[in-house]
Each structure stands twice: as structure tokens, then as C-alpha cells.
A = this chain, B = another copy of it.
């Protein structure tokens, strides 16, 4: 007997309507301002159906009519845009030295970006008290703006299982922590879903929705924080693997005779192309930012030692990226975190290695344009993704 969890699911007419609502919502998101006739013409849905669907989306305050009309022959068409003023999506990123929070409206416009320092050495309880405090303030601000929070997603640098439990976050020293449960308690059952995910995964979602390569269906994001991890989008969706632990590229071995890694082996990607390799010492979280700025200054000034180090790190990074390119054939690999300011010196070496190593010939590699809180923004993206997949606020709702 063959059992499969992935075949088509039986559908009924309520499903059809829910699907079509999300199709129209996505169309408006992508093409606003647009008319009902535009939607009908592009989706193939008939005009009466579109009118009914739009009315439903207006009722839910997801879409609104603008005063604008389209210049065209015949009756002027009222234009539609995303509304979403009553809603907010919240993303939070826990990293070794900071907690960041981002809130966006339904269209993905940023409502706030807050950051506070954080001590990765804190216990889960101490750490989560700090996270709870910032999240409570964000939720309070949204309440003040009379926005309904659609959901909250938290990015953690570590192995997160499919239930959202942090199995291990080595650089935070956390293990088997139900931080989603902790936050639910800290917020006293806030009535919106709280999700926990790996930082690379959420940053990849941010790139897919907001980045320079938004909409790419095969995209990999590589974090350049204390650790190096990959968020893997294939065929338009994040691929988490069987237990949710995909993307663990940091300890892939590039050279058995390479430098010692803190994992106990030698020549791991993190040891050869991580922040420690750039700084040529074990980095202290609080000082990384300043020290990376110093490396950038030296590289700019043409310091031969710095340039040589960055070339070597770039080559190792290129080896790592070539593994991703050979195995997964992405359209683009996006370098995040501290790789971004270093990209002008890393990318030439990365591209040279890729030219030698990628069997199918090359691979696009670029620096992220989303800034250091890509994973926090990705938390908001994940919440918006839920809406786009049919978890519509108000009225009839379909859980994807």
C-alpha cells in the first residue's frame, strides 16, 4: 500500500470560494491599483464572481476602493488597493546580541522597527523575559493604532522542530525551549497565532516577499551571523525537511585539513567562511559590529592583509555556495548579515569559485538589500504568507 500525505485533497465549493478570495487578494497586492475588470481579465474568473469576491474582501477590510478611476473608454472603473489599515503582522528576531521587532501592515509597509540589546548568554527564562517585554510594547502600540494583530513569528538562530520548539540554539545556549509557549503566557493568550522558526528560514521568506529577487521560486538565503545557516526556497516554498532541520550548512566540511571549528572538527564552512574567519579570532558578540566596520575600513584603504583574508573567506564561501548550487540549482543565493558590508570584497572570490565548481555553470549570488533585521521582517512575511494562503481575518476563513 502506498500512503502519501501530499496528494490532492478533496475540494468542495467553500474551498473554491476561499481559494478564489486569496487569488483576488494576491492580485490586488501585486497589481494595485487595479479594477474589478482587470482582475476578471487576468484571473479568468467571471465578472460577477469577481464583484462578489471583492465585496467580501472589502467587508473584511482587506481591500478598499480608491477615489481614483481608470481612464478608459466607457464607464470609468473604480480602482482597488489593499486596505489592511486595521491589521498588523509582527516579526521578532532573537540574535546573540540584539532582539529586533518589525511590524508591517497587510501590504508589507513597515509600521515600526525596534531593536534592543540582548545578552545571548542569558538563560532562556531571562532571555524570554526581555523578548516578552519588547513584544508586549509592540502589541500595545498596535492596539493603540487600533490594528488587529494577524500573527507573530519569532526567528531564532538554531534548530527548530516542526512544532516550533527550539531544540538547540548553540550561540544562545538554549536547548529544548518552548519559547512560543513562553510568549503566549507572557502575552496572556493574545488571540493571535505565535510561530517560531529558524532565522535563515524567515530571512529567506523576507527575501521572497520584499527583497531584490522577490518572487524568485528557487532562492537560498545564507545568514552571516555568529553562525552560518541556509534558508531554502524551492518551487516557491520554504523547504524545512522531514523534521524541520534543513539548511544546516555551517558544519558542512570544506577541508578536512582546514582550521579547527568550535564543533570539534576541522574545516567546517563556519570555521573557514564565518565571522571568526573574517576577524581571525573567536568573535565576541558585543564587538562584532565594530570589528566588522574596522575590517571594511581596512579593506577600503587597500590593506593587503585584510584583502587577502577576505579573498580567502570569499573562496571558502564560494565552495559552500557551490555545494548549494550543485545540489539545488537555485536562481539566486542571497548573502545576509555581516556578509552584506563585506560583499564587495567577498563576491569576486565567490564568483570565481562558482565558475570552477558548479556543474551546470554558475549561479547568481548577491548581497541582501534588506538590512540586518531580515529575519524579523521575515517573521512578518510569514504571517502575511498565512493570509495569502487563505487564513483570512474576519468572516469565512480557511486554514491552509
Contact = CB atoms under 8 A, between A and B. Distances in A.
A8 interface: yes
Contacts of A119: none
Nearest to A1: B30
Contacts of A13: 13, 16
Contacts of A74: none
A1 B33 CA distance: 11
A248 to B, nearest CB: 4
**Total identical chains:** 2
A3 B30 contact: yes
B30 A2 contact: yes
Interface stretch (A87-95, A96-104, A321-329): A321-329
A317 to B, nearest CB: 14
A236 B241 CA distance: 11
A71 interface: no
A323 B15 CA distance: 40
Contact of A328 (B30, B239, B254, B322): B239
A187 to B, nearest CB: 30
A8 B30 contact: no
A257 interface: yes
9 contacts: A2-B215, A7-B23, A11-B11, A11-B20, A243-B360, A245-B359, A248-B359, A252-B327, A327-B328
